[in-house]
A and B are shown apart, each in its own frame.
Chain A
Amino acid sequence: MLRHTALFLGYELRNTVRNPVWPLFGILQPVLYMLLFAPLLAKTTPGVPQAETLKQFTPGVMVMIALFGSLFVGFGMISEIRGGVLERLAVSPASRPAIVLGRTLRDVIVLVAQALLIAALGLLMGMRPNPPGLALMILLMALTGVFASSLSYGLALALRDENGMSQIMQLFALPLILLTGILLPMSLAPGWMRAVANFNPLYHTVEAGRALFNGDLGNGSIPLAFGLMLVLAVITLRWSVSSMRRLAG
């Protein structure tokens, strides 16, 4: 299984490196947010230096990449199902978990590369996050990425249909963004919204990210976010692997 995972990972990575348009395109929006939205945000909070605003803002942008970069990977898998690629693999002796694991790992690696890019941009713009905090945040992002991309693969294998998939995503996307406080801290939200947000694991991820960047490493949101994401990642990964087994026998 490990050997096959490495094979699939290598294949997918070479593919991405040869054709890096989509990951680059995917990072464009977050980069624009950093460049345009952060200064705007700084204006609305006079007296707070831009570097501080960025520290509040960047963790949200990172979670956004982790979520939206990875949630769409399932569309690629649907076209692989349609083109018979997965069927061909299913007839081969390929390890079933490896088919999913190789792809998920590729997604996580792309994600970490994107996160480093955003972090570098933030540093250039004057942000000074706590270094161990930044490292932990990237780890947390990778976990979020595992969760989002295996959720996406699981959905793709269950639905096998682009339309159904985009409908489900639209249903969840907006409330998730609003209740996560990705763009604006939830402290600006009315009380009921904050109460609802508590049930949104991504809200805790962003909160943990802000704490990490501020060097507040003892903050309770950090273990909470890691724990939640770990559990979610394990559940969705198992789901996508078992869906692959069902498809491939």
Chain B
Amino acid sequence: MIITAHGLKKTFTTRSRKGTQTVEAVRDIDLSVETGEIFGVLGPNGAGKTTTIRMLSTLITPTGGSATVAGRDLARDPRAIRERIGYVSQAGGVDELNSPRANLMLAARVNGIAKADAAGRVEETLTAFELTEFADRPARTLSGGQKRRVAIALGLVHRPPLLFLDEPTTGLDPQNRANLWDQIRLLRSAGTSVLLSTHYLDEADALCDRLAIVDHGVIVAEGTPAALKREVASDVVTLRLTPADTGRPADAPDLEEVRKLLEAQTYAREARVDGDRLLVYLDDGEHALPHLLRALAERALVIQSIALDRATLDDVFLHKTGRFLRDAA
């Protein structure tokens, strides 16, 4: 285990004209990250992802709970932890006025790499992140994707065994995101443990070995992406319905009635109303679909549209929190 955390809490107190307010950013988080894995913290904006990462990387002191990070106690030995981790904030922390090489050089030296070794190490890091071409240009002239790579290189130049990445691909185009995923996978194969936060479902699914889904400062689900999805169902049928011979779309009472009907079927795990749609979770979509169609026909319901998809992490989020992550603010 490279990280174990128990009951982490962080309460912020903000003073304004309306008096003091407290925000429970993180309420109770237990985490364990295996050495050498990519662990994801998935959740909507404001869920407490950044606060969790800032606590684990020694930036802010937890209000409660305890943690061991890279073999050291978070409360007792934050200095030792700092020597063993890399941290890349969402803002990136690149000095835009200076070149990637100068940025990396300072980061290497500050992290204790001897002067004689620093230049070589910086060169290696630049090569690994395909930055040699722009190494001596001011960082402000780099593209978003290039700047992101500099930011991550800055967190890695001292080769820490554990790297924290806060929303590493937010704001990047699909091409750059895919490249960055590959780079993060390379880190894993080199033995680096990675804890990253994201609000992208596909990123959590494709990149992470295991993940914790957080909402309102607590973990609502944890496991491998496959196991999490399996827990909800393997497939989901999305329906838009019209009651026969009315022509109008189904309204809420109609949908609720159908929902109850379908949820009672043996092949259905769960059924949910989402706006004007009905979602039915199934273990074996291909075989269950004919039964489902028959049940609807018996009720004289006309199907406007129907789709059969594999369940996603968003369905897991819905199952656990009652709303979709993509809608959660």
Contacts and interface: CB of A to CB of B under 8 A. Distances in A.
Interface of A: 4, 7-8, 11, 14-15, 19, 80, 82-85, 87-94, 248-249
B110 A7 contact: yes
A88 B61 contact: no
A93 B102 contact: no
A4 B106 CA distance: 10
B75 to A, nearest CB: 12
Given A83-B91, A87-B89, A249-B59, A92 B107 contact: yes
B85 A88 contact: no
B144 interface: no
A13 B15 CA distance: 39
B67 to A, nearest CB: 15
Interface in B46-65: 57-61
30 contacts: A4-B110, A7-B109, A15-B98, A80-B95, A82-B91, A83-B91, A83-B94, A83-B96, A84-B90, A84-B91, A84-B92, A84-B93, A85-B95, A87-B59, A87-B91, A87-B93, A88-B87, A88-B93, A88-B155, A91-B57, A91-B59, A91-B87, A92-B82, A93-B79, A93-B83, A93-B111, A93-B112, A94-B110, A249-B58, A249-B60
A249 B59 CA distance: 6
B252 interface: no
B97 interface: yes
A85 B57 CA distance: 15
Contacts of A82: 91
B61 to A, nearest CB: 7
Nearest to B109: A7
Contacts of B92: 83-84
B243 interface: no
B230 to A, nearest CB: 37
Contacts, number: 68
B110 A84 contact: no
A88 B102 CA distance: 15
Given A11-B106, A83-B94, A93-B82, 20 more contacts: A7-B106, A15-B102, A83-B92, A84-B91, A84-B92, A84-B93, A85-B95, A87-B91, A88-B87, A88-B155, A90-B59, A91-B58, A91-B87, A92-B82, A92-B110, A93-B79, A93-B111, A93-B112, A249-B60, A249-B78
A83 B95 contact: yes
Interface string B122-165: 00000000000000000000000000000000110000000000
B78 to A, nearest CB: 7
A11 B78 CA distance: 26
Contacts of A89: 110
A85 B155 CA distance: 12
Given A14-B102, A92-B110, A249 B61 contact: yes
Nearest to A82: B91
B82 A91 contact: yes
A178 B80 CA distance: 52
A149 to B, nearest CB: 18
Nearest to B107: A92
A85 B110 contact: no
Q: Which of B57, B82, B112 has the most CB of A within 10 A?
A: B82
Nearest to A95: B110
B136 to A, nearest CB: 10
Contacts of A80: 95
- The 3 lowest CB-CB distance pairs between A and B, nearest first, are A84-B91, A88-B93, A84-B93
A82 B58 CA distance: 19
A8 B112 CA distance: 13
Q: Which of A11, A80, A82 has the most CB of B within 10 A?
A: A11
A223 to B, nearest CB: 40
Nearest to B92: A84
B53 to A, nearest CB: 10
Given A91-B59, A91-B85, A93-B79, A15 B91 contact: no
Nearest to A94: B110
A249 B55 CA distance: 11
A15 B107 contact: no
Interface string B30-60: 0000000000000000000000000001111
Nearest to A79: B96
B328 to A, nearest CB: 25
Interface in B100-118: 102, 105-107, 109-112
A85 B94 contact: yes
Contacts of B61: 249
A80 B57 CA distance: 19
Nearest to B61: A249
A249 B89 CA distance: 16
Contacts of B59: 87, 90-91, 248-249
Q: Which of B59, B93, B94, B110 has the most CB of A within 10 A?
A: B110
Given A7-B106, A88-B154, A19 B60 contact: no
Contacts of B96: 83
A147 to B, nearest CB: 25
Contacts of B110: 4, 7, 89, 92-94
Contacts of B109: 7
Contacts of B79: 93
